[in-house]
Chains A and B, each alone.
Chain A
Amino acid sequence: MMESALVIVPAYNEAEVIEQTLEELRRYARQIVVVDDGSMDDTKEKAEKMGVKVLRHCANFGYGGALKTGFSYGLRYFQVPYFISFDADGQHDPSYLENLLEPLLEDEADYVLGSRFIGTEPSEIALARRLGSKIFSIGTSAILGQKISDPTSGMIALNRKVAKIFTSKFFPLDFPDADVLIMLNRMGFRIKEIGVKMRRSRRAGSMHSGIIKPAYYLAKMSLSMIHFTLRRDLKEKRREIESAF
């Protein structure tokens, strides 16, 4: 099953944990590409030692930028029908990858989101993050008319059609989250959530720590959500992007 997917691992200064993450991931995935987003430590060298392909950005471009590079690379160099995004910090549990792919294989969805809030096993999530996720969950579910419990999850699986959209200018370069779900919904893609278990990050510090970054994230994400909600031409844009390939 996992032969049909390319796993993209965006990484920035993850030298401490990348080997452990890849060691675990390799037990479940055959094709892995690490996108080193201009790390200042030896993330690239450590990932290469693990025998996976590594792409290195010569400058730091953000999580979305690294994912965009991964999708572009996958579309150009791999014939796989599916892509999975997997965090380098050890938060994601690779034993759920097959579950994530299943709705794509069954053609039930174009985009599958791993949710920490579905299922019986509770994930370890910091309170601030849980609260942020809840706020965006309410907003996104209302806009989509479909229950989305974890719109900020980074554990996603998608088909080639969605990957093409993600290499366009519509894909955010910083944090692609709830706004991307609204964009895909408005473009006519099918979204499905499945339950996954996530762990605390293996290393300290996160984008969500401090005051300024989360406040910026909240403001930027809200604006982006409003933008995609109000647009009426996204189906047309989808056709334009698809025909450009």
Chain B
Amino acid sequence: MLFKQKIFAIVASSLLILLIALLIKRRKLREEYALLWLATGIGALVLVIFYPILVWLSRLTGAIAPTTTLFLFAFLFIMLISISFSVKFTRLSDQMQSVIAELAFLRRELEELKKEKGSG
């Protein structure tokens, strides 16, 4: 891995970790959603700093250049993050449907009560 590539990877992953930390601090991102992002940033940083791990992983995956391994793992993590979001969206849409239904029932009850009060 070239020195420039190493510096770039360290800066990029450090910036990602910093950004996530900042978003958590400002409560714009909840910890449960930040975990995978942090894991991506920390994972990339560890692989670049402890270069032999990256070389070992490259041999394991059959990649020719260690940089390819780095990109491959980044891509896998992003895919994992996307899937986790889809799972959360599914759960959220189920929960939202229940809330909307409850709201519709309550509105109906309120209207009926108002009518009863008006006529009584």
Contact = CB atoms under 8 A, between A and B. Distances in A.
A binds B: yes
Interface of A: 35, 53-59, 61, 65, 68-69, 72-73, 76-77, 169, 173
A56 B108 CA distance: 8
Q: How large is the interface on B (under 10, 10 to 19, 20 to 34, 35 or more residues)?
A: 10 to 19
B108 A54 contact: yes
Contact of B101 (A68, A77, A169): A68
Given A169-B94, A173-B93, A58 B108 contact: no
B7 interface: no
Interface of B: 93-94, 96-97, 100-101, 103-105, 107-108
8 contacts: A54-B108, A57-B100, A69-B97, A69-B100, A69-B104, A73-B101, A73-B104, A173-B93
A234 B107 CA distance: 35
Nearest to A57: B100
B97 A173 contact: yes
Give 4 nearest A-B pairs by CB, closest first: A69-B101, A55-B104, A57-B100, A65-B97
A65 B104 CA distance: 12
B104 A57 contact: yes
Contacts of B105: 55, 72-73, 76-77
A58 B100 CA distance: 7
